[in-house]
């Protein structure tokens, strides 16, 4: 199997997760990192024993040793960096969201046509939890019947206080949405992947629960609980809560809500899919379990076990039953499937979120914001 040399751009919170994941894939070599903060790039390279570090993206892209590049920068940089990576002829793995708006997504879709030999993935990592794949395969097999109703939520508390702040709240940096684009995007990608349905109509209500926040004057880490000593009070435009009703192209209905001001929830992501024969339910805080419910019969709680889950889900679990796998494992699994797809000659249907999948999620996000602003259903 060909050894793939990887470069990572952006050494913030999520960039470090990419470092950890790539280093766990045997046929990948983390060859270089880059950040505009040269000291930070060097510190990460030294700490992890990475051969090269750069403070300039063009220098990294000009390195002929590098086969693929991960874009782990803030949202407003995604378009230009993703374009540069594609134009360099290297494979691209972008953090979500793909870009700031659908016009930018269309630009990337058009550009990708010029580089058919470059694979593109977007890091919607929840797809690659083995029990999410198990839910997908049970629905696809017809065992649960036709999909009728889809519900879900994604709740966090990292923006609970007015002293909590993030660039994701700033439209110029994050785009027109915070909670929907940040965590609602994961839910939309996951339920469309699991059901095989596409969301085609939305009705949304978005709210900025904390309209004025204390923005630190000094840079802080994502998810920090430290209260800044010096800050500016700023008006917040982007939402920290949202509820969305939707319809799909195959006649199902659904509703989900997201919140980043839900006390006690670090990362509570869940979905339930009600089908004509049974229901299936999963949540990422107990991610090795899948609940299947029946009318007039015993409900089942399926525990992740490589010996008993479906053959299509089995490749995405590495440990025996009773040895818990977690968020980092699904994260690694998503990146692994991308590089295996490349090594397999880019044939077959990708399991990871493609450029087209991620562009559609950007389109959905725009429609959701428009629906909330105009107080009406929006068709996509």
Give the least confident one: 114-123, 247-256, 313-322. Answer: 313-322
Q: What are the E-state strand segments in 83-209?
A: 91-94, 120-122, 147-155, 199-207
Residue in the block written with tokens 């229901």: 279
CATH fold match for the domains 4-123 and 126-323+349-379: no
CA distance 179 to 236: 13
Whether the pTM exceeds 0.75: the reply is yes
Is the pLDDT confidence value at 221 over 70? Answer: no
Span 4-123 CATH architecture: 3-Layer(aba) Sandwich (3.40)
Give the pLDDT of residue 229.
76
* Confidence band of 32 (pLDDT split at 50, 70, 90): very high
pLDDT, tens digit, for every residue of 263-297? 999 999 999 999 999 999 999 999 999 999 999 99
User: Which residues make Cβ contacts (< 8 Å) with residue 315, sequence separation at least 6?
Assistant: none
Proportion of the chain above pLDDT 70, given as a percent? 98
Q: Which of the following CATH numbers is that of domain 126-323+349-379: 3.30.160.270, 3.40.50.720, 3.30.360.10, 1.10.287.110?
A: 3.30.360.10
The first and second tokens of residue 13, run together, are 């919170």
Q: Could you give the dihedral angle defined by the CA atoms of residues 188, 273, 354 and 98, in that order, rounded to the nearest 10 degrees?
A: 10
Cis previous bond, 97, omega within 30: yes
Could you write out the DSSP letters of every residue in 44-79? HHHHHT-SEEES-HHHHHT-TT--EEEE-S-GGGHH
Give the pLDDT of residue 222.
67
CA distance 215 to 212: 9
Q: Where are the domains of the chain?
A: 4-123, 126-323+349-379
Mean pLDDT of 225-231: 76
């Amino acid at each position: 199997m060909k050894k793939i040399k990887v470069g990572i751009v952006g050494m913030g919170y999520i960039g470090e997760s990419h470092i950890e994941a790539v280093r766990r894939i045997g046929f990948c070599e983390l060859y270089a990192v880059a950040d505009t903060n040269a000291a930070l790039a060097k510190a990460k390279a030294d700490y992890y024993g990475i051969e090269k570090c750069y403070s300039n993206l063009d220098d990294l892209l000009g390195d002929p040793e590098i086969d693929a590049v991960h874009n782990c920068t803030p949202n407003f940089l995604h378009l230009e960096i993703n374009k540069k990576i594609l134009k360099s002829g290297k494979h691209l793995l972008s953090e979500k969201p793909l870009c700031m708006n659908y016009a930018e997504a269309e630009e990337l879709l058009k550009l990708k046509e010029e580089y058919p030999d470059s694979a593109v993935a977007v890091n919607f990592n929840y797809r690659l939890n083995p029990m999410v794949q198990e839910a997908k395969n049970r629905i696809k097999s017809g065992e649960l019947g036709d999909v009728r109703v889809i519900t879900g939520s994604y709740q966090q508390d990292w923006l609970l206080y007015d002293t909590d702040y993030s660039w994701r709240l700033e439209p110029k940096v994050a785009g027109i949405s915070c909670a929907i684009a940040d965590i609602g995007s994961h839910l939309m990608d996951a339920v469309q992947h699991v059901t095989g349905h596409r969301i085609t109509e939305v009705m949304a209500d978005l709210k900025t629960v904390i309209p004025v926040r204390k923005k630190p004057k000094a840079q802080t880490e994502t998810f920090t609980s430290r209260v800044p000593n010096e800050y500016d009070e700023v008006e917040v435009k982007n939402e920290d809560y949202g509820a969305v009703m939707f319809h799909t192209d195959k006649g199902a209905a659904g509703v989900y809500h997201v919140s980043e001001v839900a006390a006690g929830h670090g990362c509570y992501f869940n979905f339930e899919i009600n089908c004509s024969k049974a229901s299936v339910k999963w949540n990422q805080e107990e991610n090795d379990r899948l609940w299947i419910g029946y009318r007039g019969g015993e409900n089942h709680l399926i525990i992740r076990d490589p010996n008993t889950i479906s053959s299509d889900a089995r490749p995405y679990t590495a440990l025996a039953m009773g040895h818990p796998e977690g968020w980092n494992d699904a994260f690694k699994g998503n990146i692994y499937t991308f590089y295996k797809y490349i090594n397999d000659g880019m044939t077959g249907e990708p399991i990871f979120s493609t450029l087209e999948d991620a562009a559609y999620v950007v389109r959905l996000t725009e429609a959701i914001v428009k629906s909330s602003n105009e107080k009406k259903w929006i068709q996509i």
